[in-house]
Amino acid sequence: MVPIPMRSENIIKNNPSNLIKMLNSNTKLEILATKDGWTKVKFKDTVGWIVSRYLTSNIPTKIQLENLQRNDNLLKLSLSKQNKENTILKKQTSNLKIKNTQLSIQVGKLKSEEKYIRQICKDALMLEHNNKNLKINILQLETELQLLQNNNIIEQETIYRNWFIIGALVLFFGIMIGFIFQKLTNNKRT
């Protein structure tokens, strides 16, 4: 850095010196006025004159270089962080791909199980329907069986009654024939 003199007037005096302060180059100043190659400036609470050729609105190349180096270092640091994050994200992405593959396999298995369960439900519903039909058929068959048993009982009773009547008739005719035969036999004897 180059020291730049700040003077109380816009001329250079050595005896007595009008030097107020030495400012470092790259010091920010407030410009108040310009006159004959001099510029009136304010630095903090001090007001004075500086030769205009020492002033510039451009940032000095040294400061620009320092700023660029600082920015470069910040960018390198940021890039390093980004690379680390990128590595972490790549690992996470790889892990997520593995999990996605595993989930896809599980989804496939679950779909197969769902299809199997749906088929079982469908078969169960069909069996339930068939079971209801069989119960209805069983009730019909039980009713028919009961009717047949009742008819069988009625027929047996009818057969017993008929045999009873036939037996009674045979007995009656036997007795009648016995009387007639006895009378005939008695008539022949007499």
> To the nearest 5 percent, what fractions of the chain are helix, strand and coil?
70, 15, 15
* Assigned domain for 52 exists: yes
Regarding pTM above 0.75, the answer is no
83-97: per-residue pLDDT in tens?
Answer: 999 999 999 999 999
* Closest by CA position to 130, among listed 142, 138, 141, 118: 138
* Assigned domain for 81 exists: no
Q: Which residues form the domain of 32?
A: 3-57
* Assigned domain for 45 exists: yes
pLDDT for the residue 181: 82
* Closest by CA position to 11, among listed 22, 3, 19, 2: 19
* Assigned domain for 84 exists: no
* Assigned domain for 183 exists: no
| Number of folded domains that form the chain | 1
Can you list the residues of the chain whose pLDDT is less than 70? 1, 190
Residue 47, domain CATH: 2.30.30.40
